[in-house]
Amino acid sequence: MATAAIGGSHLVASTQAGALFGWQLLWLILLVNILKYPFFRFGVQYTLEQNETLLEGYQRKGKGYFYSFVVLNVVAAVVNTAAVLILTAALLQYALPGNWSLTLLCCLILLACLLILLLGHYQALDSVAKVIMLLLTLTTVTAAIIAAKNGASAPADYVGQSPWQLVMLGFLVALMGWMPAPIEISAISSLWLTAKQRRQPVTRAQGLFDFNLGYWLTAGLALVFVALGALVQYGTAQPIALAGAAFAQQLVDMYGATIGEWSKPLVSLIAFLCMFGTTITVLDGYARTLNKSFYLLGWQKVDNRLSLSSWLIVQALCGMAVILFFRSALGPMLTFAMTLAFLTTPVFAWLNFSLLRGADMPPLSKGLTLLSWLGLSYLFGFAVLFLCWYLGLLS
């Protein structure tokens, strides 16, 4: 889950938040992580307590709930696959010598991911994710500590722009959409837990510990990326880029400015590996949801390794089709994916909450229930506000 989360929301959105607005959005990112926490947790908790996946819970709750999930999940699977793939290709494009086509790199990365997953499946996914997360965490925290010791780049009297204006609402929604990850990751976590249980027994305490460790690690690293942007880029004359190799170069240069020029090749490799890991987990996770969903719908007869492999290939081809449609435009692709993720979040959040409040489930604690209602109010309220702004009803 952590590897799936730490991608566009951290490398792009969190860093941009710090670079554009300094420390002003730090509390918003922390708040969003706290308010979304119950809905991600419920995916793991439901599986641990009911011994079935979240998708089976949606189906048992009613056709309307399940069909809503399937439709939104199909769209999210294709869009998010394309978004993380093109960002991974942009990082690789910067690291490689010569003038490589972004579309060609997307194809090569996709083939490499498919090869790993088709040959190794969950065991390969689990091993790769742990190594990547360790490398990224150590490098990012080191860079942030050095940047803090060096002091902020912005002049003492610098006054930046405010994010608290309607014109910035689109940026705020995109920032929150993938923070810490698209909400469908809760269903994917449920399927990953089921896959893990086939290899080894997982107790309730172990499952929740693993989830909490991954979740709060992603939340903490989001704040570290904000700090990097605020300390290194905020208040400087350099414009903040969000386009292909220009973004990749700026990201790597930020690390180089804090750790040292010698670190650029290493950081470039780690940043690419981070997004490569995200691409692998997104491909694997969404393919699992598609495979399980269509099996439960009765539209496919089997739910096995062969059917999962087939969905991996279908999902990959659809993601590449979206990239070709957007003509490898990184900025619009990421913004579209993040905004779509935010608008679907309240629906998935309500689905998860309603399942955990079912008559056959142990009662939730008062604290978790209160946090869930606060989270739902915030998510639905912000989604309505954004739609009103987008439709021109606010001025």
Q: How many CB atoms lie within 10 A of CB 284?
A: 25
Taking the alpha carbons at both ends of the chain, their separation in whole angstroms is 39
Phi-psi region of 121 (alpha: psi -120 to 50; beta: other; left: phi over 0): left
Q: For tokens 């990959």, what's the residue?
A: 316
Q: Kindly report whether the peptide bond that precedes residue 363 is cis, defined as omega within 30 degrees of 0.
A: no
How far apart are the C-alpha atoms of 214 and 192, rounded to whole Å?
Answer: 13
Distances (CA, A) of 369 to 109, 213, 274, 353, 356: 42, 21, 34, 9, 10
Write out the two tokens for 187. Answer: 């269903």
Please work out, in degrees rounded to the nearest 5, the angle formed at the alpha carbon of residue 154 by the alpha carbons of 149 and 155. Answer: 105
What pLDDT sits at residue 147? 83
Long-range CB pairs of 318-323 (<8 Å, 24+ gap) are 318/77, 318/78, 318/81, 319/78, 319/81, 319/82, 319/85, 319/110, 320/82, 320/85, 320/106, 320/107, 320/110, 321/78, 322/78, 322/79, 322/81, 322/82, 323/82, 323/85, 323/86, 323/103, 323/106
Dihedral sign computed on CA atoms, order 297, 323, 281, 337: negative
How far apart are the C-alpha atoms of 361 and 353, rounded to whole Å?
Answer: 11
362 close to 134: Cβ distance less than 8 angstroms: no
> How is the chain split into domains, by residue range?
2-390
CA 157 to chain centre: 35
What pLDDT sits at residue 27? 93
pLDDT in tens, the chain (395 residues): 777 777 767 877 888 888 889 899 999 999 999 999 999 999 999 999 888 899 999 998 888 888 888 988 898 888 888 888 888 888 888 778 878 888 899 999 999 999 888 887 667 767 777 777 788 788 888 888 888 888 888 887 888 889 988 888 888 887 888 788 888 889 888 998 888 888 888 888 998 998 998 899 889 989 998 998 888 888 876 666 655 556 667 777 777 777 777 777 777 777 787 788 888 888 999 999 999 999 999 888 888 888 989 999 999 999 998 888 877 666 676 677 778 878 888 988 998 999 888 767 888 899 999 999 999 999 999 888 888 888 877 76
How far apart are the C-alpha atoms of 130 and 35, rounded to whole Å?
Answer: 26
Question: Which one-letter DSSP state was computed for residue 241?
Answer: P
Write out the two tokens for 383. Answer: 């989604």
What pLDDT sits at residue 26? 94
Q: For tokens 């309500």, what's the residue?
A: 350
What pLDDT sits at residue 233? 81
DSSP string, 23-84: TTTHHHHHHHHHHHHHHHHHHHHHHHHHSS-HHHHHHHH-HHHHHHHHHHHHHHHHHHHHHH
Where does residue 55 rank: exposed (0-12), middle (13-18), buried (19+ CB within 10 A)? buried
Q: For tokens 């904000």, what's the residue?
A: 226
20 close to 240: Cβ distance less than 8 angstroms: yes
What pLDDT sits at residue 122? 63
* 3-class state of residue 89 by DSSP: helix
What pLDDT sits at residue 109? 94
pTM: 0.86
How far apart are the C-alpha atoms of 349 and 42, rounded to whole Å?
Answer: 9
- CATH of 2-390 among 1.10.540.10, 2.60.98.20, 1.20.1740.10, 3.30.70.260: 1.20.1740.10
Distances (CA, A) of 56 to 60, 63, 208, 297, 298: 6, 11, 20, 10, 13
What is the length of the chain? 395
